[in-house]
Amino acid sequence: MHLLHAADIEKSFGDRHVLRGATLTIGPGDRVGLVGVNGSGKSTLLRILSGKMPQDHGRLDRVGTQGLLEQIPDLPGQTVQESLDEAVGWHARLLADYHAALDRQDLGAAATLQERLDREGWSVAHKVAGMMQRLGTPPGDARLERLSGGEKRRIALARVLLEQPDLLMLDEPTNHLDADTCEWLEGLLASWRGGVLLVTHDRYLLESVATRIVEIEDGETVAYEGSYTDYLISRAERQARLEKAEDKRLALIEQEAAWAARSPAARSTKQKARLLRLDALRDQRALLRRSDFDLELKPTSTRSGPLLEARGLKMGFGGRTLMRGLDLVLRPGERLGILGPNGAGKSTLLRILAGELQPQAGELVRAPRLSAAVLDQHRTGLDLDQTVWEAAGDGNDHVFVNDKPVHVASFLERFQFPREIFDQKCRALSGGERARLLLARLVLHGANLLLLDEPTNDLDLMTLRILESALLEYEGAAVVVTHDRAFLDRVCTGVLAFEGEGQVVAYASRQQHTAALKAREAAAAAAAPAPAPAATRAASSERNKKLSYKERQEFEALPARIEALEGELERLHTQLSDPSLYEGGGEQAIEVSRRAEALPAEIEALYERWAELEERAG
């Protein structure tokens, strides 16, 4: 059984053929990583497979439900809560189907639906709340139109996970997620009960989750069994075989063309067959040879002393302190990674170091002739109304690389931009293509301090490896905000971690930071006293002095009421599992079922009341 089967999918945009014959089959339990260079058609293929975009040619069969996370999501509803509640509409429909089965006394269907409700839960409010907390979404009453792109993407990810589709299709799901949340998502996807189709630059995620890698290469799909590491090995072996076959084809064309030039005009049948073979060789599609481009980041000047010193930096907004007493020294050759949850102040620190923001306290000392280059996560360094040609050369036909003139066409081709998009507006580029164009501009303008905010977002895996290599050879200093764990581990010589309450702590590596967090959590758990019984808490006169007499009585009685209702719910579920309940027309089953459905909301309301009274008592 398959969840999706796509055969010979083709898609063009104008004269640009993106997909030439993509084929893909996904079944339950399959976890497929979809890879390819920026602009190869990964996002286009996802939209076609999900039904969001029609294909030009090819066959597409889908079974069950599909959920798609797009890079630029379109969220329904006016608020965060409305959008997330819409995502769990399947649960309301499940309850309605269950009641409809009971009403028409279809006991077999009712029993089947009840089993699923027992498995999924009779209420999903706690699942929505847990997903919001886990992904760090804005509060439920936040208006969608006021949210940032990153916040909308986290809501979109929450939505598609709450939908629980049979086939989950995710386009760069780790963008705008911190490292801890990436690890949580990794575990969730590895155990997803349905199928998963994943586009991501996160190599740790691919290695942990994917059981098959499918690469889009020159508009076609090539499948590799195994993990991401297995893919790298198999791909290198396949490329070597293809290049050998291509060299042989070109040599044969050259040989046969030379024979055709020497042969007399009169052709025998055998000669004509040989000429037809020459035509067939020429008509074969040439092998697309993709070589790594050069990304040589040259500092504008070299010096041995510190490039930048921060002393006692303090910064905050709206009464919230992001950093306090931060000291920092950046020297040539240092590459500092910045860690912390979303909203902790990482991007704010980059803006302070760039001189875009003034700290509330402290000072920055910059070396003479310090030249900083900024790559922000919104990719604002491009004029979107310029063409790719204009953006690369600032309107000139030549650029200077290492003081040598290079034609803009050659420069763009070096960065894997095909000639057919030279006249395309920058606003039409994909996120990865914009990032690659900005990296090309960094090569031209140079700097001895790089400030990179989420530089790995939307980059394809080849460009990511090239950027890593360039930073490792870079003689200036770099400060990098990124959630990409593999990138941090390979590139950074140290990390700064935002740990809340204005604390920013330096560590030698991401692993040292992770170990320190786990050690603190273990120590806190060991030192925490066992929670006192609810009756003891309620009896404390010190804690209850803020409650009225009636409220104290209510507070003390709540644990017993909750326990009684939870016991009743458990008994009702036991009754619903007994086939004898459905005998004699099933009227009793309907009554028991309705009571079982109502109880979770009643219990949840009592818990909320208990929490409210407990807070006031404290």
pLDDT at 534: 47
Question: Which alpha helices (DSSP H) does 22-139 contain, by range?
Answer: 42-49, 80-87, 89-103, 107-120, 125-135
Which H/E stretch holds residue 375? strand 372-375
Cβ-Cβ contacts under 8 Å for 374 (sequence gap 6 or more): 350, 354, 381, 451, 452, 453
What's the CA gap between 426 and 50, in Å, rounded? 27
Q: For position 376, what pLDDT does the model report? A: 84
- Structure confidence at residue 541 (pLDDT): 41
pLDDT of residue 34: 96
**At which residue do the structure tokens 């709340």 appear?**
129
What is the predicted pLDDT for the residue at 535?
Answer: 44
SS3 204: helix
Low-confidence ranges of the chain (pLDDT < 70): 263-271, 286-295, 298, 300-303, 402, 528-546, 549, 573, 576-587, 589-590, 597, 617-618
27-30-36-42 Cα dihedral, nearest 10 degrees: 50
Two tokens, residue 290: 């993709």
b/e per residue 35-60 (b: at least 16 CB within 10 A): bbbbbbbbbbbbbbbbeeeebeebeb
User: Which domains occur in the chain, in start order?
Assistant: 308-523 (3.40.50.300), 534-617 (1.10.287.380)
pLDDT of residue 428: 83
Q: What is the pLDDT of residues 385-422, one digit of tens each?
A: 899 999 888 878 888 876 788 888 888 887 878 888 88
Specify the length of the chain in residues.
Answer: 618
pLDDT of amino acid 350: 92
Q: pLDDT at position 375, please?
A: 85
